[in-house]
Amino acid sequence: MREMFTIVNDNRDLISFANGQMVMHDNDVADRYDAAQQVIDDIHEYEVAQMKEKLAQATIAKAYLDEVERGGRP
């Protein structure tokens, strides 16, 4: 995320704001910003997948423990 702030800070003369959106007037700057944003998106996607996996494992463990508690065979 720091990279995105650095890109914006270092290129203020090539960036403007219109209708609440950032407009980049240089393709290289836009590409670098998009690449930094993609890293954040990729990390987020990975973290969501990891949390879903942990939730699935916790759900399985809970079902197992519930069955044991009821005296059933897991």
The residue ranges of every structural domain in the chain are 1-70
The two tokens of residue 44 are 């987020």
Q: What is the pLDDT of residues 18-71, one digit of tens each?
A: 999 999 999 999 999 999 999 999 999 999 999 999 999 999 999 999 999 888
pLDDT score of 72: 72
CA nearest neighbour of 56 among 64, 72, 74: 64
SS3 call for 53: helix
pLDDT at 74: 58
